[in-house]
Structure 1
């Protein structure tokens, strides 16, 4: 096909000296989304993208198949409060999942439907939390993908709003006190009270009494602390214990305090330090038996569960109940105590495959295992707040849409409790877990998904993330199934920086160790080629957010290894990333360019700064979202301009810039269109016949 010229983009002679090192930034003008020059450039890029993609074949077929597979719908785990049950479900024709409740008489009804709130489909339900009696519901919604959640209260019986809006509540937990008359929550300070550019930070914990003005909310915690702190807040099921945690940005550690609300007032809790200044993540659960259960990775990078007396909650008083495993990573736990022998269910991932073990609640002795439907991913385990003998969990794998499984501790049986509501014909695939060695000899696991009967090198997408301790686990994906059904292979590498092998694995891919993540991806690609799954001419890489940084670094470090790249919502200018979006909360993961040593780490791989003229780069598609308030699209804009200027081959560098969409949740139709564009691009540039 005849390629259109790239839109003109002026290159400024802007060079700054940082820690004695000159750093060029020729496209800084693209950091201003409202400038006429940026708007003109984006409009031209949209025209180019539409022309390029419009000339490719197979999009309609790919789009139709992705849409068909997404008609599986979805189902969420139940939350029990009082005599009611709450859960999320999306039917095949719905754009968003709907929050339902089952009333005391057994009647099921829709409680919150985002599409009913906003027929445009731009409103998303970000979070929800019923009070302890199931009578009031706190919920948060945002519009256009900006994730700027607004908090409301709903009367569950009538379905009527009773309070709100309360703004500046992004990522706020809600911790109800018994009786539904008050709750703790997290809110940012008003923009007028913080320095310019820091409006996304400066959170505080407040107590709000239902029916009163937020002007009367009581400041509980967070004054004069680190501006990027995130706060967690929870109240025990009996209402006695308050728990507050603080983490600097996304740091893999937290400080922790508790207060006995029976001995101090809710609006002035007497907070006692559990841990402060320790390099560990810890969470607490106050058992109905009076014991304190501690989930921690202190001295246990794969995590352990301890017990203690709530009156003596500090680490020196902890006693191991379920110690660290040598191979599996502890993910969560649940207590079932309406039994002759009460038990704890412990959730684990073993090389990213989920399992649940059963333990004696008093001694921690392993006494059994919860049957699961297959080798897949299990969501958080939940039980009734008042106790019982049942537990519920979400299960999914590469060919199974999410389902809710019920475990009965009295019989030891697991049964299907609720399936995703849509009936779809899922293609048969083979999933193999392989092990390969990275550059330094480290063993890395990878899932490889293929179509039965297809042999020899074939078009392949290699996907990775490698950051923030997030694990890549099996899950139902319409995009993956569509690609594999068409004859391609799909590989998911469990790179360092993730959580698949615990916190040590995470730290082996963060800060000064970030290059390990890129090396793990390159080695995964070489393994796929060496074992005959694919070839460099047929290999694509894909990643989003931190995974966008991953593939951005990969295409600049090893451009000859990859035929095509999809880079979505990426971080790419690692010298200035802290200045935009939520970037300042991530310097605990990446480092800060303000510090000489950490600048050297970042400058060594920052993708935008490693684009070189005259290099044949892979065909690259940047997909970004105009309302993204986490990772500003300017990263992709600047990188796209740099690559278009430098590209020495005829393989295209394209930008898909989507309006009124953000980093996270979106309508199903928008998901379908994005997937169709990405798969069409990758199919064309890897030779997959669609």
Structure 2
């Protein structure tokens, strides 16, 4: 395989450091008109702050909130003594480089397990604190990236997931080899009892949970990011916690399934088995296998089932069921006894609902997050006694959100498939206008409406922002996902090209005014788009991308994604990867669009080398005078980051796209 820039794979090599320094100088010389204006407006719109849904433990509840001036959201607890902060990342580290990755209170609301990482590397370390005093009781326990924590009653022990020590695994596999452990509070982590994972696939991710009453243990296993899992339960009343007797719920089945143990003694099964859009079944915990499942909420012909919550402090208990219909959220109400639909939950608008929560001990109340294109995150409260939804908490900042118009449009891809797209534009005037087309198209992730300072800033400046719901996502269920994964990946790129052609044909924009943007798997998307149809796009913003699809498994968490993309080790999969791998499809003498790659030095998911190699290849190959630039950011990673870093990145991306689509004005 020709690979002229493989030498860029070693970030410690002197010649790579020299090359990166030169790229930084080149980016610094780029004339990005409007950057300070974009920076200021994005910063203003992010002063909305944010708010998270409550997690209840008895009379206490926990939630996340970010005020207008804060760099990171803070975890708060509310009880009889009032509201107080529990975990403030800026108090732990005033530099802003520390992030709170996850948290889980124990079943009594007395202790809190939490995970933090530094510099964007996502290498979470686990701690436990006493909520009443704020005293840290233990930690750090390292190698806890992506670890669930499942407390046993009383708070004396918990199950969690930890990687094996680096010295005990083959070189290059330090990010894999997870195991499920039982940990006794205060005991050395290296003495923990391993209860699951020995001898299984090295790239497995594990889930673990314990029912509210402490009786039932659930363990799930999935190979990397595969859209399927194996699942077991154990009755801790009849087997020891350190050696649970696991009973198979499903194994070697091509489906995703999760379990919820009801307060009524029934086992609720949330699955896409024989139901790509999802269904809820019921059975007895003692008979968890598939042949005993009975439909409670059957699959819908159009909407995708996303969540459910049980409210039982009522004369007739009910189940609230969350759905997305073409990526727009709704909640229906059903009788718990037989699943019959009895109504719906009022929601604030056509937007996104982020999870439905209830009190663990039961009740008549539920909470859910809500946002849309012009509404910062809010928390809504539903009272099943009255059937009313009211605002429970709003994002704390007050911002002037520009008026925009949102249209839900339908277009057809190359093979005739119907694809949906949201188009956000100024309320007055008409096209064609400079336009950003954004997509993702992978891992079953849905592109749903949500408050975005970047989108609003672009539209307020006179542009159009379009979000395509491409195959590979989850907007239409698991079949939609699989229509854009593995050997079907070209469908995703065809959907993207068709979205661009639709925007041009309907007068929204022109190819000279059209930019595309995407990050991570979306970076792969726009990388493939610019190499397959360079004449269709004027500018590209490509962030934290996968671009060398022949060697992607060798870096970061790449080996966990071969269930999504395929493996170069398999001849027919190699051929499919090579057909679209952006790095390998750069052609000399092509007039490529202006392209900005943004990457992060501490990214342990997608190594920056993908963008480094692609930038070098495009700079050498293009016949255009349009720039190919690389923005390489230190002390930042793939995921969570401080507000100031978010603002700076957004301003650079918007200014670059504005400069090369004609939207930019001089400062």
* TM-score calculated relative to the size of structure 1: 0.96
Counterpart-to-counterpart distance in 1, 2:198 and 2:73: 37
Q: List per-residue Cα deviations over 1:462-516 (Å, max 9, x = no partner).
A: 0000000000000000000000001100000000000000000000000000000
Which residue number corresponds to residue 120 of structure 2? 145
8 Å CA contact 1:354, 1:376 repeated in 2: yes
> Which residue number in structure 2 is paired with residue 679 of structure 1?
654
5 Å-filtered alignment, 1:425-464, equals 425-464=400-439
Structure 2 counterparts to residues 628-643 of structure 1, below 5 A: 628-643=603-618
Q: Does 1:303 align with 2:281?
A: no
Decide which moves more: 559-568 or 453-462: 453-462
Q: Runs of at least 4 residues of structure 1 off by over 6 A?
A: none
Q: What SS does the aligned partner of 2:44 have?
A: helix
Alignment of structure 1 residues 268-287 onto 2, 5 Å:
268-287=243-262
The CA distance in 2 between the partners of 1:331 and 1:106, in whole Å, is 36
* Count of residue pairs brought into register by the alignment: 665
2:208 to 201, 211, 233: 233
2:296 & 2:136 partners in 1: Cα distance?
44
What SS does the aligned partner of 2:393 have? strand
Contact 1:83 1:133 in 2 (8 A): no
Q: Deviations over 1:273-318 (max 9, x none)?
A: 0000000000000000000000000000000000001110001000
Residue 167 of structure 1, CA deviation:
0.1
State the distance in 2 between where 1:680 and 1:56 align: 5
Which ranges of structure 1 fall in alignment gaps of 5 or more residues? 1-22
- Given that 1:454 and 1:487 are in contact with CA atoms closer than 8 Å, whether structure 2 keeps it comes out as no
Residue of structure 1 aligned with 2:452, choices 477, 490, 502 = 477
> How does 1:496-575 map onto structure 2 within 5 Å?
496-575=471-550
Question: 3-state SS of the aligned residue for 2:357?
Answer: coil
Matches within 5 A, 1:107-506: 107-506=82-481
Mapped to 2, the partners of 1:106 and 1:363 lie a distance apart of 42
Secondary structure of 2:187's aligned partner: coil
Q: Residues of 1 paired with 2:610 and 2:431: CA distance?
A: 37
Q: Residue 73 of structure 1 is aligned with which of 32, 39, 49?
A: 49
Contact 1:101–1:111 (Cα < 8 Å) also in 2: yes
User: Whole-Å Cα distance in 1 between the matches of residues 274 and 310 of structure 2?
Assistant: 24
Instruction: Give the Å deviation of 1:58.
Output: 1.1
Q: Partners of 1:190 and 1:221 in 2: how far apart?
A: 16
Q: Given the alignment of the two structures, is residue 44 of structure 1 paired with residue 22 of structure 2, yes or no?
A: yes
Q: In structure 2, what is the Cα distance between the partners aligned to 1:86 and 1:553?
A: 43
Q: How many angstroms apart in 2 are the aligned matches of 1:129 and 1:296?
A: 24
**Deviations for 1:594-623, whole angstroms, at most 9, x for unmatched residues?**
000100110000000000110000000000
Name the counterpart of 2:76.
100
**Residues 32 and 652, structure 2, Cα contact 8 Å, conserved in 1:** no
Q: Does 1:625 align with 2:600?
A: yes
Q: Which residue of 2 aligns with 1:595?
A: 570
CA distance in 2, matches of 1:161, 1:596: 52
Residues 81 and 385, structure 1, Cα contact 8 Å, conserved in 2: yes
Corresponding residue for residue 11 of structure 1: none
User: In 1, Cα distance between the equivalents of 2:32 and 2:568?
Assistant: 41
| 2:552 alignment partner, one of 564, 577, 585 | 577
In the TM superposition, what is the alpha-carbon distance from 1:106 to its structure 2 partner? 4.5
For 2:535 and 2:348, locate their aligned partners in 1 and report how far apart those are by CA, in whole Å: 42
In the TM superposition, what whole-angstrom CA distance separates every residue of 1:135-162 from its partner, at most 9, and x where no partner exists?
1100000000000000000110111111
Instruction: Provide the residue aligned with 1:3 in structure 2.
Output: none
State TM-score, norm by structure 2: 0.99
Q: In structure 1, the residue corresponding to 2:356 is in which secondary structure? A: coil
The residue number in structure 1 matching 2:640 is 665
User: Match for 2:33 among 38, 43, 57?
Assistant: 57
Report the CA distance between 1:216 and its aligned residue. 1.8
Asked if 1 retains the 8 angstrom alpha-carbon contact of 2:600 and 2:638, the reply is: yes
Given the alignment, which residue of 19, 24, 47 partners 2:2?
24
Does the Cα contact within 8 Å between 1:345 and 1:359 map onto a contact in 2?
A: yes
Partner of 1:636, secondary structure, is helix
